[in-house]
Amino acid sequence: MQRFILKSKNKITLMSGILISAGFLTNWIIGNETIFAWSLIIASALGVLPIAIQAYQALRVKVVSIDVLVTIAVLGAFIIKNYEEAAIVTFLFLFGAFLEQRTLNKTRSAIKELTEMAPESALKQIENGKFEEVDVGEVDVGDILLVKTGAKVPVDGTVLTGEGSINEASITGESLPVAKETGSNVYAGTILDNGTIQIVADRVGEDTTFGRIIELVEEAQDSKSEAERFIDKFSKYYTPAVLVLSLIVGLITQDVALAITILVLGCPGALVIGVPVSNVAGIGNGARHGILLKGSEVIGDFSKVDTMVFDKTGTLTVGNPSVAEKEYYGDNIDEALGYLASVERESDHPLAKAVLEEIGETTFSAVENTEVVKGGGIAAMVDGHRIAVGNVALMERENVVFSEKAKADVSRFEKSGNSLVLASVDGELKILMGIRDQIRPGVKEDLLKLKKLKVKNLVMLSGDNQGTVDAVSRELGLTEAHGNMLPEDKSAYIKKLIDQGQIVAFVGDGVNDSPSLALANIGIAMGSGTDVAIETSDVVLMNSDFSRLPHALGLTKATSRNMKQNIFIAVGVVLVLLASLLFSEWMNMSIGMLVHEASILVVILNGMRLLRYKLRNK
C-alpha cells in the first residue's frame, strides 16, 4: 500500500489541487462553508499520506527529515481546525517535490543522453563468413564486426578493411567527422557517417571507452563533495533543532499556530537540494564537452588550483616531430633533396621520417656504401656523389665548409630548440633543416585563458633537453620550465610544490606520467580516454583537446560559485521567513510554504544554468 501511494504521488498532488480549487470556488460563488471545509479536509488527508509515509520511513532509520516537520505541522493544523493551511501546505509541498524532481531530471540529461547513445546490436561474422545481427552483449573480444553507413560502432576496435568518416562526438565532444582507414581505432557509441568498415573487437561491454565514460559520469554524479557532506551533517542536526525551537516557542507563547508555522518555515529543503543540483549540472556540462570530472570532490579541488604543471610532449606539443625551419644553399637543390630522401629512406630514425614528410614526392636513387657514423649521422654514395646526412659534427668530419650565413642559420636554429639535420653533396653544404615537436595550435591562447582564471604558475616538466624546453617555454610564456626529467623527477617536483602549500594540477598523457597524475591535487589526462588516463586521473579530456582545459577550469569555478549562491539563497530565505514570522503580522503558514517551495525551485533553476555554461572570451 505504501509503495502504491508513493507511486501515485503526482496523481495525489493533482487531486489535492483540484479539491482545493473546487472548495475555494464553491465558497466564493455560493458561499457554502460545508463543501469548502470538506474539500480542504479531503485534500489535506490525501496530501499528507505520501508525506507521512516518507516521514515514517525516515524515522525508521533515525533521521528527522523535512517530511517529519511537514507531517507534524499538518497534523497540528488539523488539531486547531485550520484546514485551509493544512490543505495548502500539503499541496505546495507535493507540488514543490514534483517540480524539484522534474528539474533534477533535466540536470541529469547528460547521462541519460549518453545511455541512449549506447549501441544495442552488432553485425557479427559467423562461421560461414556471413554477418548476422546479434545483441551487443554477445560480442566477444576478437570477433569481426561489420559497420554500415549510419550505424553505431558497437565496440572499441581496430579497422580491418574499408574506410569512412566517423562522428566521435559521444567520445570527444567534437562534431567534425574523423576519417578512418585500415589500422585506425574506433570507439563504441560513435556513428559511421559514410562508408563501410569491418572491425575486430578489442574491448566490449563495460570495458569500452564509452562504457567507462557512462560509468564515470554515473559515479561522479552520485559522489558527494565536501560541501554536500557538510550539509548532510548540518541537516541531521538542523531539522531536530527546528522541531525543538517550535516546541519551546509553543510552550512559551502558548500559540500552537505559531509553533506549527515555525515547523513549516524552518524546512531546509533548498539547502539540501542546492549543492547536489549544482554538482550534477556541472558534471553534465563537462560530459557534453568531452570533459570527465570524476566526482563532486574534484570540482571543489580543481576550482582552487593555483599552479598547473604540464608535460611537454603530447600535451603542450603535438608529440610528432616535423620540420619547423629550413634553409637551402647553392644550386641543384631539387637534386640534393632527392639524394637526401634516398639516404633517409634507409633510416628508421624519427628525424628521418620528419625529413621525408617534408620533402614529399621526389626521385629516389640507389644508395651504396652506407656508413653509419655513431653520434653523427650517415654517409653514403648516391649516383656517384658522396652524400653526408647528419649533425654539425658529421659535417666537420666530412670537411664541409660553412659560410657565414650557414653558421648564423645553425646558431639560430639551435636557439629555437631545433634538432638539426644537415645534408652535403661532395663536401658542399646544400640543406639545413630544423626539426622540432610543434606546439599545439592555440595552446598559447589557452594558457592566457588559464592565467585569466587565476592560475598563477604555469610550469613545464619534460624529459627533453633543457635547450628545447627553454625554447618552448619562451614561446608560450611559462613561469618555469625544467628539462632532462625522468618520471620520478617529475613526481618529486610536484610533491615539493604541494609541500610548499600550492594547489597543483598536473596535465599529462596518462601513460609515463601516471605517478605525477596520481600525486597532484588534480590529475588531468590528455589521451582520448586511455586506460591509464581514466584510472589514474581526476579529469579526462577525452579527445586530447587542450582547448577544453580552460573550459574545464572555468566550469569548476562556476560550479563552486553556483554552490555558494545556492547555500546563500537557501539560508537567507529561511532566516527571512523566520524573522518575518516573529517580527511581523503578515507572515503565515501558507505564504511561508509558498516562499519555501519557490526557494527550492530557484536554487534548482540557478544550478541548471550550469548546463549552458560556456567560457567567455574576455
Q: How far apart are CA 89 and CA 27, in angstroms?
A: 19
CA atoms within 13 A on the CB side of 7: 4
Parallel/antiparallel/unpaired status of strands 121-125 and 131-135: antiparallel
* Residue 334 annotated among the catalytic residues of the structure: no
Q: How far apart are CA 492 and CA 248, in angstroms?
A: 59
Q: How far apart are CA 128 and CA 89, in angstroms?
A: 69
Q: How far apart are CA 24 and CA 35, in angstroms?
A: 9
Q: How far apart are CA 69 and CA 595, in angstroms?
A: 16
* 175-180 long-range Cβ contacts below 8 angstroms, 24+ apart: none
- What strands, in cross-sheet order, belong to the sheet with 385-390? 317-328, 428-439, 419-425, 385-390, 377-382, 367-373
- The DSSP symbol for 151 reads P
Which is catalytic among the residues 311, 464, 513, 545? Answer: 311
Q: Are 72 and 256 in contact (CB under 8 A)?
A: no
Q: Are 210 and 171 in contact (CB under 8 A)?
A: yes
Q: How far apart are CA 611 and CA 289, in angstroms?
A: 11
Q: What is the largest CA-CA distance in the chain?
A: 117
- Three-state DSSP at 119 gives coil
The helix or strand, by DSSP H or E, that contains position 161, with its residue range, turns out to be strand 156-167
| Residue with cell string 576519417 | 179
Residues 6+ positions from 513 with CB-CB distance below 8 Å: 311, 487, 490, 506
Q: Write the CA distances from 337 to 289, 359, 362, 433, integer angstroms.
A: 45, 7, 8, 11
The helix or strand, by DSSP H or E, that contains position 198, with its residue range, turns out to be strand 191-203
Could you tell me which of 190, 204, 242 has the C-alpha nearest to residue 69? 242
Parallel/antiparallel/unpaired status of strands 144-147 and 191-203: antiparallel
Q: Are 486 and 463 in contact (CB under 8 A)?
A: yes
Q: Are 381 and 346 in contact (CB under 8 A)?
A: no
**Which residue type sits at 327?**
E
Q: How far apart are CA 272 and CA 569, in angstroms?
A: 12
CA distance between the termini of the chain: 58
Q: How far apart are CA 355 and CA 481, in angstroms?
A: 28
Could you tell me which of 92, 97, 37 has the C-alpha nearest to residue 65? 97
Q: How far apart are CA 458 and CA 449, in angstroms?
A: 12
The angle, 0 to 180 degrees and rounded to 10, between the axes of the packed helices 333-344 and 350-359 is 140
Q: Are 528 and 171 in contact (CB under 8 A)?
A: yes
Could you tell me which of 459, 463, 408, 411 has the C-alpha nearest to residue 437? 463
The catalytic residues are 311
